[in-house]
Amino acid sequence: MISGFDLDKFFGLFLYNRDAPMIFNSGFFLFLFLIFLCIYIRLRKKDNYRIIYVILFSYYFYYKSSGIYFLIMSFVTAWDFFAAKEMYATENKSKRKLLMILSITANLGMLCYFKYTNFFYEMYCNLSGRSFSSFDIFLPVGISFFTFQSMSYTIDIYRKQLVPLDKIQDFAFYISFFPQLVAGPIVRAKDFIPQIHKPLFVSNEMFGRGIFLLISGLFKKAVISDYISVNFVDRIFDNPNLYSGIENLLGLYGYTLQIYCDFSGYSDMAIGIALLLGFHFNVNFDSPYQSASITEFWRRWHISLSSWLRDYLYISLGGNRKGKIRTYINLIITMLLGGLWHGPSLRFICWGAIHGVGLAIHKALIGLFPNLKPSGNKMKPLWRTLGIVFTFHFVCFSWIFFRAESFEIAIDMIKQIFTFFHPEIIVDVLNGYTMVFVVMIAGFVLHFTPKSLENKFIDYTVKMPLIWKAIAVTAVIVFIMQIKSSEILAFIYFQF
């Protein structure tokens, strides 16, 4: 220790800590990113050095999130790179198919081991009458995201929609690129790879939009999501039986906003940071709670995952090419597997089933009543408003199973809402959590803000002088430091 400065603690910040993964809204990441950016800019004309530099930083970023498990990402990278090259080079259909199977098996095998070993072992114990004791298996952060990215690359090559990369460092750059590494969005190879060797160029529009998205994401996560989580939502979901139905319902509305602000906040920051580095990601969230149907919701929510499931699972199952009944079954299977992707639990399967059945019913209704099919936002205002209200509450109901710690707790919450509502205590609840509800109202107002107004704010940020951009970012960071909880909360999707 030097004059009150703990040197060991300082150097400890650079080492892996299982309880403190690297996250965008931490001061330590922002400090490292500024240093990273200074060197990155110096390497802008040295293509190969810049690529290697970003790979090394990305691997360090992942080490800070999952420790030695960065070796898993290295294995996926090497395995799929060479499998894809061999797959593309051979004309033997059987060999190509075998390589594709081996690639998918390796990726899904790792996912199954880390995410589902205890789930399947518990099922086996229940069926065999044996006592269950879970294995201590650490789930590497973001393993689902980088394995899905890698699988999309090999599948596209198998389908001859993509030409394999010549250099393994380019593929490593694509898989490990740190902005989207641990919680998405899932970036397609066909969208990202062409950008790798383009001359590094960040236009004023890209820089301004990147700054706006970084500020927006930080605000969503640290100001809205974390605040309502710590001060209200977590308390309700920890023990719904201690609270009335009205409190449970408000807690559910709170979580509906929390998960959106948490996940879209991360996506905003990932897209913003990528823009600052000269790369474009596709939009991952498009005001999903403004959807007038469950089908529209999945075109606006976690777009990179929903489009991945559509292109690589739903279409592979047959999509809508094998008749109506098969289409409905394919939708339900896709969403069931999407639910299981989120975690090995009955509640996630139930969440997926609710959405799968909802999508199937909506598709059936459109077949019977074509006028129900919305054409963009051209529905009559009344019908669109009713559709938004219904879809919002349908999604809210499904979030109960997604958030509850167990299926039993989810059922308890539903019972409280429908049998112990007590609306007469609403004033007392609002008085007791005034600031929470102010933040919630502000969050929903921002979410339902017209896209045109949001674009005006982006344009204003783009035109803002550099010094004012720096002041705006600093002001948001200082504000967050003042109101944040004592413990930095990890992003919800880190666990997937």
Q: Which residues on neighbouring strands pair with residue 2, listed in sequence order?
A: 5
Q: With the C-alpha atoms ordered 111, 113, 114, 117, is the resulting torsion angle positive or negative?
A: positive
Q: In this structure, what is the dihedral angle of CA atoms 52, 57, 60, 62, given to the nearest 10 degrees? A: -100
Assigned token pair, 387: 């559709």
Q: Are 341 and 357 in contact (CB under 8 A)?
A: no
What value, to the nearest 5°, has the Cα angle with vertex 354 and ends 349 and 360? Answer: 120
Assigned token pair, 195: 């950008």
Distances (CA, A) of 393 to 176, 234, 289: 37, 20, 10
Assigned token pair, 56: 């090394």
Peptide bond before residue 185 is cis, with ω within 30 degrees of 0: yes
Backbone angles phi, psi at 163, to 5 degrees: -100, 135
First to last CA, the chain: 39
Assess whether 342 carries a catalytic annotation: yes
Name the active-site residue from 197, 280, 302, 342: 342
* Tally of CB atoms within 10 A around 484: 17
What residues are labeled active site? 342
